[in-house]
A and B are shown apart, each in its own frame.
Chain A
Amino acid sequence: MTGESRHADGERAAASSPDGPTLSVRDLQVHFPITSGFLIRRQTGAVKAVDGVTFDIAPGETLGLVGESGSGKTTTGRAILQLQRPTAGSVEFRGVELTSISAKKMRPFRSEMQIIFQDPYGSLNPRMSAGRIIGEPLTVHGLGGDQDQRLERVAELLKRVGMNPAMMGRYPHEFSGGQRQRIGIARALAGAPSFIVCDEPVSALDVSIQAQILNLLSDLQTEFNISYLFIAHDLSVVRHISDRVAVMYLGKIMEMATSVELYENPMHPYTRALMSAVPIPDPALERQRERIVLAGDIPSPINPPSGCVFRTRCPIATDECGEVLPDLVDHGGGHQVACIKV
Chain B
Amino acid sequence: MTSDPAPVANAAPHLLDVRNLATRFATAEGCVQAVDGVSFHIDEGETLGLVGESGCGKSVTSLSVMRLIPTPPGEITDGSVLFEGTDLQTLSEREMRRVRGGSIGMIFQEPMTSLNPVLTIGRQITEALGIHLDLNKGAARNRAIEILARVGLPDPASRFSDYPHHLSGGQRQRVMIAMAISCNPKLLIADEATTALDVTIQAQILELLQSLCEELRMALLIITHNLGVVARYAQRVAVMYAGKIIETGAADEIYTTPRHPYTKALLSSVPRLDAITTTRLTSIEGEIPDLVNLPEGCAFAPRCRWVVDRCRVESPELGPSGGSHTAACWEQDRIDHDRLAELQQS
**Interface set of A (CB-CB < 8 Å, partner B):** 68-69, 176, 178-179, 206-212, 214-215, 218, 233, 235-237, 239-241, 259, 263, 273-286, 291, 293-298
- The complex places the Cα of A239 from the Cα of B270 at a distance, in Å, of 12
**Do B256 and A284 touch (CB < 8 A)?**
yes
- The answer on a CB contact under 8 Å between A240 and B275 is yes
Q: A69-B198, A211-B282 are in contact. Are A280 and B231 (CB under 8 A)?
A: yes
Tell me the minimal C-beta distance from A106 to chain B in angstroms. Answer: 34
Question: Does B12 lie at the interface of the complex (its beta carbon under 8 Å from any beta carbon of A)?
Answer: no
Cβ contacts under 8 Å, A286 to chain B:
228, 231-232
B272 interfacial contact with A, CB 8 Å: yes
Asked whether any CB of chain A lies closer than 8 Å to the CB of B163, the reply is no
Interchain CB contact under 8 A, A273 and B200:
yes
- Smallest CB-CB separation from B169: which chain A residue? A69
Q: Can you list 16 pairs linking A and B with CB atoms under 8 Å apart?
A: A68-B198, A207-B270, A208-B284, A211-B271, A211-B282, A233-B199, A237-B271, A239-B278, A240-B271, A240-B272, A275-B273, A277-B199, A279-B231, A281-B255, A284-B255, A294-B204
Report if B187 contacts A (CB, 8 A).
Answer: no
Task: Name the A residues within 8 Å of B230 (CB-CB).
Answer: 281
Q: Mark B211-225, 1 if CB is under 8 A from A, else 0.
A: 000000000000001
Seed contacts A68-B198, A280-B228; 9 additional CB < 8 Å A-B pairs: A206-B53, A208-B53, A211-B271, A211-B282, A214-B271, A237-B271, A240-B271, A241-B271, A285-B231
**Complex CA distance for A207 and B271, rounded to whole angstroms:** 9
Q: Within 8 Å CB of B227, what residues of A?
A: 207, 281
Rounded to whole angstroms, the CA-CA distance of A240 and B204 in the bound complex is 25
Q: Which residues of A contact B293 (CB under 8 A)?
A: none
For the complex, what is the distance from the CA of A291 to the CA of B211, rounded to whole Å?
Answer: 14
How many angstroms from the CA of A49 to the CA of B288 in the assembled complex? Answer: 38
Determine the distance from Cα of A279 to Cα of B287 in the docked complex, in whole angstroms: 26
Instruction: Tell me which residues from 257 to 280 in chain B have a Cβ below 8 Å from any Cβ of chain A.
Output: 265-267, 269-275, 278, 280
Max count, chain B CB within 10 A of own CB: residue among A69, A208, A280: A208
Which residues between 218 and 263 of chain B lie within 8 Å of chain A, taking CB atoms? 225-233, 251-252, 255-256
Question: How many B residues, CB 8 Å from partner?
Answer: 47
Q: Are A281's CB and B270's CB within 8 A? A: yes
Listed in ascending order, the chain B residues whose CB lies under 8 Å from chain A are 53-54, 152, 154, 168, 170-171, 198-204, 207, 225-233, 251-252, 255-256, 265-267, 269-275, 278, 280-285, 287-288
Chain B residues near A209 (CB-CB < 8 A): 287-288
CB of A68 within 8 A of CB of B273, answer no
- A211→B284 CA distance, assembly (Å): 8
A96 → chain B closest CB, angstroms: 31
Q: How far apart are the CA atoms of A291 and B269 in the complex, in Å?
A: 25
A259 vs B63: C-alpha distance in the bound complex, in angstroms?
Answer: 41
Are B200 and A282 in contact, with the CB atoms below 8 A? no
Most central of B266, B278, B282 by chain A CB within 10 Å: B278
Contact partners of B168 in chain A: CB under 8 A: 297
Cβ-defined contact, A208 with B265, below 8 A: yes
Contact A281 B267 (CB under 8 A): yes
- A211 and B199 contact, Cβ closer than 8 Å, known pairs A206-B288, A281-B255, A282-B255: no
- Nearest Cβ on chain A to B299's Cβ, whole angstroms: 14
A280 — which chain B residues lie within 8 A by C-beta? Answer: 228, 231-232, 272-274
B265 CB contacts on chain A under 8 angstroms? 208
- Distance in Å: Cβ of B143 to nearest Cβ of chain A: 22
A285 touches B269 (CB 8 A): no
- Chain B residues lying within 8 Å of A235, measured Cβ to Cβ, are 199, 273
Within the assembled complex, what's the spacing in Å between the Cα atoms of A218 and B232? 29
Residues of B within 8 A of A208 (CB): 53, 265-266, 269, 283-284, 288
- Sort A-B residue pairs by CB-CB distance and give the 9 closest, nearest first: A279-B228, A240-B271, A211-B283, A277-B203, A211-B269, A208-B284, A279-B232, A211-B281, A281-B227
Known: A277-B200, A277-B202, A294-B200. A236 touches B271 (CB 8 A): yes
